Amino acid sequence: MTWCVTEASPVSRPGPVRRPGDTVGRPAALDNGCHSCGVHSSAASPELDLCAAVEPVVGWDRVAVAVVVDPERRLPLVGSDLALQRFNNFQESLVQGPCRDALQCGGPVLVDDLRAEDTPWQLLLSSAPRDFPVRSTASLPLLGPAPDRVPLGVLSVGRDRVAPFTLTDVQVLQRLADVLARLLLARSSRGDLLADVAPDELPVLLGMLRVRLDVDEAVALARLRGYAFAEGTTIQEVAADVVAGRLDLDEVDLGR
List the chain pLDDT tens, one digit each, 256 residues.
Answer: 435 643 333 332 333 343 333 323 323 322 333 333 333 444 789 999 999 999 999 999 999 999 998 888 899 999 999 999 999 999 999 999 999 999 999 999 999 999 998 889 999 999 988 889 999 999 999 999 989 899 999 999 999 999 999 999 999 999 999 999 999 999 988 988 878 888 889 999 999 999 988 999 999 999 999 999 999 999 999 999 999 999 988 777 666 5
pLDDT attached to residue 96: 95
Helix axes 217-231, 82-94, angle to 10 degrees: 120
Cα 153 from chain centre: 8
Peptide bond into 147 cis (omega under 30): yes
Domain ranges for the chain, please list them. 35-196, 202-251
DSSP string, 54-106: HHHHH--SEEEEEEEEETTEEEEBTT--HHHHHHHHHHHHHT-SHHHHHHHHT
**Cβ contact 50:181 at 8 Å:** no
Torsions phi, psi of 8, nearest 5? -80, -20
CA separation for the pair 39, 158 (Å, rounded): 12
Helix (H/G/I), strand (E/B), else coil: 109: strand
Architecture of the domain defined by 35-196: 2-Layer Sandwich (3.30)
Contacts of 192 (CB under 8 A, 6+ apart): none
pLDDT attached to residue 3: 53
Q: Report strand pairing: 73-76 vs 109-111.
A: unpaired
Side-chain half-sphere CA neighbours of 60 within 13 A: 31
pLDDT attached to residue 255: 60
CA separation for the pair 165, 107 (Å, rounded): 14
pLDDT attached to residue 52: 97
Contacts of 41 (CB under 8 A, 6+ apart): 32, 33, 48, 78, 79
pLDDT attached to residue 11: 33
Q: What b/e string do you get for 223-243 counting C-beta neighbours within 10 Å, with b at 16 or more?
A: bbbebbbeeebbbbbbbbbbe
Q: Report strand pairing: 136-143 vs 62-70.
A: unpaired
pTM: 0.81
pLDDT attached to residue 128: 87
